[in-house]
Amino acid sequence: MYQYDKFDHQVVSERVNQFRGQVERRIKGELTEEEFLPLRLQNGVYLQLHAYMIRVAIPYGILSATQMRRLAHIARTYDKGYGHFTTRQNIQYNWPKLEDIPDILESLADVEMHAIQTSGNCIRNISADQLAGVAGDELEDPRPYAEILRQWSTFHPEFAHLPRKFKFALTGSDNDRAAIAYHDIGYKLVANEAGEVGFQIFVGGGMGRTPMIGKEITPWIEKRHLLAYTESMLRVYNGYGRRDNKYKARIKILVHEMGIEEYRRRVEEDFARSIDGAMNLEDSEIARMQAFFAPPTYEDAPAQDAEVNALLESDKKFAQWYSRNVEAHKQAGYALVSLSLKTKGVPPGDVTADQMDEIARIADKYSMGQIRTTHKQNLVLGDVRIQDLPDLWRELKKVSLADPNIETITDLICCPGLDFCALANARSIPIADRILNQLDDLDYVHDLGDIRMNISGCINACGHHHAGNIGILGVDKKGEEFYQITLGGSSQTDASIGKIVGPAFSYDDIVPAVTNVLETFVSLREDDERFLDCYRRVGMAPFKERLYENN
């Protein structure tokens, strides 16, 4: 993974000092809350319903075991003993005291971490495919470019006060695991006709109250132009994006209103004038970054293991875990293992400090000391020997991190909702909990196959309901919580936006409504058809009919 040098260390430590000063000025009253707000936001500090919250950046979802131990320490020392992994591969703490935050930042800086630009109207933490570098279907590892973009975007002076927040995601695979179509800018490493690898770029995707799928701005640009082209895209947005209405300020609205053709024309006009300027990436810089992400030295580990094979026959629980949580690695003899953070009785994405320490220990023991976070709020161990799977599974079970539900209906994405968030209209965590309790028959859940269910507590869509095969959106009706169901969303390569089925359901009725949708699916499904494929084949009508037949 990337290692800081003296310059990177200096940037984060000077940032800690700057923020310490800003907090002191706020406490002394030299800064008003209005003036402090964008300063604290650009350092990931929100004021939520009950307390301040701090969001810590995990660039493109890569953590060392050392960093995970530090996250545990922070949870224990400054929070209530847990942290929450987010849909943008970050972690947030819900209960820090404002005056402790400079110390938290200092503690993070020691392990090469920060909270820079994890919120605010600026370029946010860069996200990427959680299987970058280890997936067999990858053309090229996107992480070196993600790190190049991270450094370029850190305190970029021209883009610190954009019309609205701005999110990048990268993938190097045809199988999009990073939801690039739902980001302000999505980058995909692709080869041109000559076989030369460059970037295909999408712009103007997003969720929120106006969900949109990103549009292609260029089918291919040279790698060396990554930053110059990106800078032109941001410059046109900074100059022409709407600032009169925060709900129309994202780049998706600019691209929609201006049209992708006109937006592209302006970007390319600006780009043409800066094309071979200071932002040109030399091959040597790309190679320097790639060296940080070079594959580790893999052992010649056996692709088959007798104990694994025996357990698959004899232990149903192991077989269930193996079928959902273990994936093929590009290296023979190794596997990718997902740790589910979707467990009954625990808010999706929450991990205790003790679990974090265990994850760090387990990563050191079984996966080269590295952990990956996913935008679906789970963790991945990226380099596990197949022969270690049985021992790993036993250790994960002891700390409740072996729920065999990855990509099933219960692997749901969920925002913090009205339990924590100042923006929410409705609770989302209790809905997730009730669904996890309702669907506790693992055989049934596994039979249902891949289903993405996402829950948002309000129209801002932090729970990605638009991208759920089944989406749930909390709304407020005269002070009462109601829930809409959307169907057919996807954030994968064939991205689509879910459509609302019909009138919203009450808090009590929403979970039965979800089971109704699942029963309809089972009755319509052909063979092992996925929910999304079934929905795309039969359409909305049969689901709607069954959901509202008693009305």
Partner 1 sequence: MKIIKGQEIIEDSWTRVADEDDLPEGQVIVSLARWQQDRESLLSRGNSGLGVALDADHHAEDIADDLEHFDVVALNFPVFRDGRAYSVARLLRDRYDYKGEVRATGDVLRDQLFYMYRCGFDAFEVRADRSVEDALKAFDEFSVVYQPSVEEPLPLWRRRSS
* End-to-end CA, the chain: 56
Taking the least distance from each CB to partner 1, the nearer of 266 and 499 is 266
Nearest approach, Cβ of 79 to partner 1 (angstroms)?
27
Nearest approach, Cβ of 136 to partner 1 (angstroms)?
31
- How far apart CA 364 and CA 378 sit, in angstroms, is 18
- Return the closest-CA partner of residue 348 out of 393, 379, 378: 378
Question: 172, 204 in Cβ contact below 8 A?
Answer: no
Taking the least distance from each CB to partner 1, the nearer of 97 and 161 is 161
Residue 221 backbone phi and psi in degrees, to 5: -130, 155
Nearest approach, Cβ of 98 to partner 1 (angstroms)?
17
- How far apart CA 325 and CA 342 sit, in angstroms, is 12
User: What three-state secondary structure class fits 357?
Assistant: helix
Taking the least distance from each CB to partner 1, the nearer of 269 and 519 is 269
Residue 477 backbone phi and psi in degrees, to 5: -120, 105
Whose tokens are 């590295």? That residue is 370
Taking the least distance from each CB to partner 1, the nearer of 42 and 484 is 42
Interface ranges with partner 1 (CB under 8 A): 5, 7, 10-11, 14-15, 17-18, 21-22, 30, 35, 38-39, 121, 151-152, 154-163, 235, 238-239, 243, 273-274, 278-279, 285, 288
Taking the least distance from each CB to partner 1, the nearer of 94 and 121 is 121
User: What three-state secondary structure class fits 83?
Assistant: strand
Task: Region of 389 please: left (phi>0), alpha (psi -120 to 50) or beta.
Answer: alpha
Taking the least distance from each CB to partner 1, the nearer of 267 and 445 is 267
Taking the least distance from each CB to partner 1, the nearer of 284 and 314 is 284
Question: 414, 332 in Cβ contact below 8 A?
Answer: no
| Single-letter amino acid, residue 159 | F
- How far apart CA 421 and CA 53 sit, in angstroms, is 10
- How far apart CA 430 and CA 426 sit, in angstroms, is 10
Taking the least distance from each CB to partner 1, the nearer of 162 and 399 is 162
Taking the least distance from each CB to partner 1, the nearer of 30 and 519 is 30
Contacts of 55 (CB under 8 A, 6+ apart): 44, 46, 86, 90, 91, 92, 115, 118, 119
- How far apart CA 483 and CA 477 sit, in angstroms, is 10
Nearest approach, Cβ of 86 to partner 1 (angstroms)?
24
Taking the least distance from each CB to partner 1, the nearer of 152 and 507 is 152
Residue 130 backbone phi and psi in degrees, to 5: -70, -15
Nearest approach, Cβ of 57 to partner 1 (angstroms)?
15
Nearest approach, Cβ of 238 to partner 1 (angstroms)?
5
Nearest approach, Cβ of 161 to partner 1 (angstroms)?
3
Nearest approach, Cβ of 461 to partner 1 (angstroms)?
23
Nearest approach, Cβ of 285 to partner 1 (angstroms)?
5
Q: At what angle do helices 353-366 and 389-398 cross, to 10 degrees?
A: 170
At 261, list the tokens: 């053709």
Nearest approach, Cβ of 30 to partner 1 (angstroms)?
8
At 71, list the tokens: 């996250």
